Structure 1
Amino acid sequence: MVENKVDEFSGFKTDFYEIKRFLEGYDSYLKNYLSSLLRDTAKLALVAKQSYLHSNYFDKIVLYKSPINNFSLRLHIWDDFNYPEFKSDIHNHRWDFCSVVLKGVIEETVYSKILDEGDLIEMDFSTSKNSTRKYKRKNNATLIPRYKTRLEQGMCYTKFSDELHDVVSLSSYSATLMLRMDDEKDYSSIFLKSNQNLANREGPKSFFNVEELRLKIIKLLKNI
């Protein structure tokens, strides 16, 4: 049912209202879907091969990717027990997405760029199919925060590809379910401090193995 729904969304003009309804209704399908995934070792292995610790220190778990285009259903998990040094860079995306908070509290700050000079370095980056990242420096930049939003369990939000934001978890354990849509452009942007090193943004150092993924899903099921 879940895979069919993602394929249905990917095959037509994006309907944000229907996507939001699907995500907000996660109580009706997510626990059963994750429980069935735990019983299917082969399927769990496929998910593990495309899931890893993101450079912004959350676990990115790709539950399903449509064969039609780049639509995919993901879990994002912030777990202070494993990653106490969590820090998010200001960035946008190549694609729009909708997300619902499954557990905990996250805070999103949305920014505007006001100058092509300043203390931040603006870089374009793209990602290849094997998750190799390419960076291109553009300008220095100055950003100002426009607003903050506190997002609690059950709340759903939409982000468009050109919006600059960062996200932090305000809880010791937070999780979201996200539907990533098709690419709107070939690259996205990140804004780094001049002394930041790109080493931790070179893509996943390694993907989760099956047992690691199994334990992460079991922990999530205990928390939602």
Structure 2
Amino acid sequence: MEQLFSFIESGISRGGEAEEILSEVCTDGTLRDCLISVSKEPESHGMLCYRHPNGFYKMKVLSPGTHAWALRIHLWDAPVPPSDVHDHRWNFASFVVSGQLQESQFSIVRGTGSDQAFTLTRSMDGYHYMPDGMCQLAEVGRRTHTPGQAYTLDHRVLHRADPVSGYPVITAVLQGRDVKDTTTVVPGTVWSSDLAVRPLDWETVARLMETTAERLGV
């Protein structure tokens, strides 16, 4: 864990590209070895792991602190409904470990249309949605990400990422520091004002880590 943390922290401090840093730890065995080690006693590391509203398992592997960079694993073990259209609080890089992920990007026009936009805030206990007016979305691009491929995304881009084949679909995500406090979400299903986060049991966390480590070794 210390080796992985030091490599990422050093690379970011030097102004390195997140995509290059992430690709290296995913391909040189560093992330795989870390996950194998942590999977033996996941509870001792106290990482945040839960099922995200968009249907994937989310494991926060490393972070030096609140509002700083973070390394996460996303894992879809089965098909899920189309995810919400959303932007982010931070720029990020993503590396596809296994399976295929289809990403669609959107433009948005405010004050018209039939889609309900929300402002989303995040706390330790869950996701909090506040209505933010009607809008009209239009898809402006689509691409498929395949195993071994990395990409970056600016925090301002509205997108949706959905697994399409090769389950489990797994990505490693290196997010940058927070650059804003909230995100915009246009959900396919209108949520209530709050969605609670329910941490996974440690046996499930260990299994997900072992699965990810196995795919990183391919």
Q: CA RMSD in A?
A: 2.1
In the alignment, the residues of structure 1 paired with residue 47 and residue 110 of structure 2 have an alpha-carbon distance, to the nearest angstrom, of: 40
2:118 touches 2:132 (CA, 8 Å); kept in 1? yes
Stretch of structure 1 that moved more, 56-65 or 19-28: 19-28
- Please give the secondary structure, in 1, of the residue aligned with 2:173: strand
Give the residue type in structure 2 aligned to 1:223. R
Tell me if structure 2 keeps the 8 A contact 1:55–1:200.
no
Q: Whole-Å Cα distance in 2 between the matches of residues 137 and 200 of structure 1? A: 8
Question: C-alpha distance in 1, partners of 2:94/2:202?
Answer: 25
Matched residue type, 2:19: K
| Identity in percent | 20
**Residue 174 (structure 1) shift:** 0.6
Structure 1 runs not aligned, ≥5 long: none
Q: One-letter code of the match for 2:130? A: K
Matched residue, 1:6: 8
Which residue of 2 is the match for residue 215 of structure 1?
A: 207
Check 1:6–1:150 CA distance in 2 against 1; reply closer, same or farther (3 A cut): same
Asked if 1:149 corresponds to 2:147, the answer is no
Q: Select 2:128's aligned residue among 134, 149, 162.
A: 134
Instruction: Count how many residue pairs are aligned between Structure 1 and Structure 2.
Output: 211
Counterpart amino acid of 2:59?
I
Q: How does 1:1-224 map to 2 (within 5 A)?
A: 1-9=3-11, 11=13, 14-16=15-17, 19-25=18-24, 26-28=26-28, 29-39=30-40, 41=41, 44-45=42-43, 49-67=47-65, 69-80=67-78, 84-128=79-123, 130-171=124-165, 172-193=167-188, 196-199=189-192, 202-204=195-197, 206-224=198-216
Asked if the contact 1:55–1:203 (Cα under 8 Å) also holds between the matched residues in 2, the reply is: no
Deviations 1:73-127 (A, max 9, x none): 00000110xxx44430000011111111000110100100134211111111111
Matched letter for residue 195 of structure 2? E
* CA distance 1:60–1:48, shift in 2 (3 Å): farther
State the alpha-carbon separation in 1 of the partners of residues 108 and 53 from structure 2: 23
Note the residue ranges of structure 2 that are not aligned, 5 or more in a row.
Answer: none
Distance 1:15 1:199, change over 3 A: same
Cα offset, 1:10, TM superposition: 5.0
Q: Which amino acid aligns with 1:31?
A: R
CA distance in 2, matches of 1:113, 1:93: 15
Q: Aligned in 2, Cα 1:212/1:68: closer, same or farther, shift over 3 Å?
A: closer
Aligned partners of 1:163 and 1:46: how far apart in 2? 36
d(CA) in 2 for partners of 1:46 and 1:149?
39
- The DSSP-based 3-state class of the residue aligned with 1:175 is strand
Sort the Cα spacing of 1:201 and 1:134 in 2 relative to 1 into closer, same or farther, 3 A: closer
TM-score computed with the length of structure 2 as normaliser: 0.88
Structure 1 stretches of 4+ moved >4 Å: 9-12, 46-49
User: What CA distance in whole angstroms lies between the structure 1 residues aligned with 2:44 and 2:8?
Assistant: 17
